[in-house]
Chain A
């Protein structure tokens, strides 16, 4: 009888410890998310000061799935979604290949290699805004870093000479190269991080494996694809989830690089949402948010599976 009482007491204390977190989290995180789901069903103008119990305010009208259908069929949204998917795919490939490549190279040089990885990690202290502003300038025509380098090294002259297409100036202002400019900047900043993750993954492989690969005389490429990658499946999956979850909500970088987007066709989904938000139509961005939530849920499911796989071992 006394045991039970002690147990309940402990549970009460634990709930007391949990309480501040739960109050803040439920009020300022869970409640807005749930509210956001229902908001997509209404039509309203968020300039009008709404009661935060959105359903009871007179300025709203129920429109059913209209907002969701509008967004799903909007060519601008489809285009933004397409851009987002391209960024997700390209970031995954780049950070997997280059990030792993750098980690693999660095491993061969021991301590010196570690120093290189630390240096490559430095850009993560920068904000996306700083990266965006720095790269707008790197891309800017005539006095930007990239342009002046291309001019100085006569790269375009050389390309023309051998009959290849030349590198266009000012990547950000050209709609065809806008995505490329975002990808370059994003990966410049992000790759160091993934190199560290992969380098840690490489370290978990027992040295005996490396020795036996040496004895078998496998080439680097065969070592990597046949032995290393299969052994690093978990690390690769983890890094992939991280890349995907950071690229699908990419906003700051695109916003700063394109200056709110000179071309509406360069939108990613979060910028599309922001544009509606700015022009004060409440229901449609809530519908976009719903689609973003769906992508998030897919990532949650994948991540939970990964963690379960890990803890079962």
Chain B
């Protein structure tokens, strides 16, 4: 039974469509507006921030960016520029190591059952649900014993090992989706196990492996808790620590420079998002591209 066509029904469906559309537009504005506001604020003087809340900056203060990058705020101990380089080093090395190590493990864990396989698999997957806070204190003590606190190397080791469950889990999904006939063919061609992995399986699983790496990079770049606990020396501060510490001297915030810092720290990820947005969305849609 179709619903009857009448002017009233037509009007009603028009109305609900318009309201639905309005809600979507409002939500999009709400999602984006704070960004625009922060960009505008990063170009204002501290005085203009309170007197000219909504308007465009009368004369753009580009020196906010220079000040943040080179000096880094009155409450701070290191410049945003220095911290930016630290974060680049930590994120890049973490991802490089994970990129080499985790597909190898994922491939091994995607093979048919062998001695010990399921144990290692479950042990790794369980790691995804263990909050970093659980191992924070022992980790601090362990790193202190190895003289790796306050060092970027220590931080990288921590990120790699805590990132392994997630990146192995996702890479493994990529290997599982490869039809087994392909690997059998490789065997017939006389390829060794490692050659099969390197020449046949890895290229095919690469798109999925990449999703994991992108999400892992976003996580490492944005993480705050590990450096907060493991890093005490100013010269090794990461970007997120600097953002929090620098622009607050106990009495007032330097909002202009702080906004500049937020924008600087977000640009790399924003570019990453624009480059890979389809891939990221696909990963999220599959329920795998979410690192909590």
Contact for B101 among A9, A21, A28, A124, CB less than 8 A = A21
From known contacts A18-B120, A143-B50, A238-B287, infer whether A256 and B142 are also in contact, taking CB-CB under 8 Å: no
Q: Determine the distance from Cα of A182 to Cα of B101 in the docked complex, in whole angstroms.
A: 37
Provide the residues of chain A in CB contact with B96, threshold 8 Å.
Answer: none
Do the beta carbons of B130 and A14 come within 8 Å of each other?
A: no
Size bracket of the B interface: 35 or more
Do the beta carbons of A196 and B130 come within 8 Å of each other?
A: no
Known: A52-B141, A118-B277, A127-B221. 19 other contacts (CB 8 A): A10-B193, A17-B108, A18-B120, A25-B164, A30-B123, A32-B135, A32-B142, A46-B141, A50-B145, A52-B145, A108-B20, A125-B269, A125-B273, A129-B244, A130-B266, A143-B49, A192-B31, A193-B284, A196-B285
Which one of B24, B37, B120 has the highest number of Cβ atoms from chain A below 10 Å of its Cβ?
A: B24
Do the beta carbons of B222 and A128 come within 8 Å of each other?
A: yes
Do the beta carbons of B221 and A25 come within 8 Å of each other?
A: no
The answer to whether A169 has its CB under 8 Å from any CB of chain B is no
Do the beta carbons of A245 and B141 come within 8 Å of each other?
A: no
Do the beta carbons of B142 and A118 come within 8 Å of each other?
A: no
The answer to whether B84 has its CB under 8 Å from any CB of chain A is no
Q: Is the interface of B mostly helix, strand, loop or mixed?
A: helix
Report the tally of A-B residue pairs with Cβ distances under 8 A. 280
Q: Determine the distance from Cα of A297 to Cα of B134 in the docked complex, in whole angstroms.
A: 12
Q: Determine the distance from Cα of A273 to Cα of B138 in the docked complex, in whole angstroms.
A: 13
Do the beta carbons of A292 and B111 come within 8 Å of each other?
A: no
The answer to whether A300 has its CB under 8 Å from any CB of chain B is yes
Provide the residues of chain B in CB contact with A277, threshold 8 Å.
Answer: 136-137, 140, 229
Tell me how far the C-beta of A187 lies from the nearest C-beta in chain B, rounded to whole angstroms. Answer: 11
From known contacts A35-B138, A277-B137, infer whether A125 and B105 are also in contact, taking CB-CB under 8 Å: no
Tell me how far the C-beta of A32 lies from the nearest C-beta in chain B, rounded to whole angstroms. Answer: 4
Q: Determine the distance from Cα of A270 to Cα of B248 in the docked complex, in whole angstroms.
A: 23
- Beta-carbon contacts under 8 Å, B46-73 to A: 49-50, 53-54
Provide the residues of chain B in CB contact with A209, threshold 8 Å.
Answer: none
Tell me how far the C-beta of A43 lies from the nearest C-beta in chain B, rounded to whole angstroms. Answer: 13
From known contacts A106-B24, A188-B31, infer whether A118 and B281 are also in contact, taking CB-CB under 8 Å: yes
- Chain A: CB-nearest residue to B35: A122
Tell me how far the C-beta of B33 lies from the nearest C-beta in chain A, rounded to whole angstroms. Answer: 8
Q: Determine the distance from Cα of A90 to Cα of B256 in the docked complex, in whole angstroms.
A: 33
Provide the residues of chain B in CB contact with A165, threshold 8 Å.
Answer: none
The answer to whether A83 has its CB under 8 Å from any CB of chain B is no
The answer to whether B205 has its CB under 8 Å from any CB of chain A is no
Contact for B50 among A39, A142, A274, CB less than 8 A = A142
How many residues on A have C-beta within 8 angstroms of the other chain's C-beta atoms? 103
Q: Determine the distance from Cα of A300 to Cα of B158 in the docked complex, in whole angstroms.
A: 22
Provide the residues of chain A in CB contact with B104, threshold 8 Å.
Answer: 17-18, 20-21
- Chain B: CB-nearest residue to A246: B292
Contact for A102 among B24, B32, B120, CB less than 8 A = B24
Q: Determine the distance from Cα of A242 to Cα of B142 in the docked complex, in whole angstroms.
A: 30
From known contacts A25-B161, A125-B266, A193-B284, infer whether A245 and B292 are also in contact, taking CB-CB under 8 Å: yes
The answer to whether A166 has its CB under 8 Å from any CB of chain B is no
Do the beta carbons of A123 and B31 come within 8 Å of each other?
A: yes
9 closest A-B pairs by CB: A200-B285, A127-B222, A52-B145, A28-B161, A21-B105, A246-B292, A32-B135, A32-B138, A249-B131
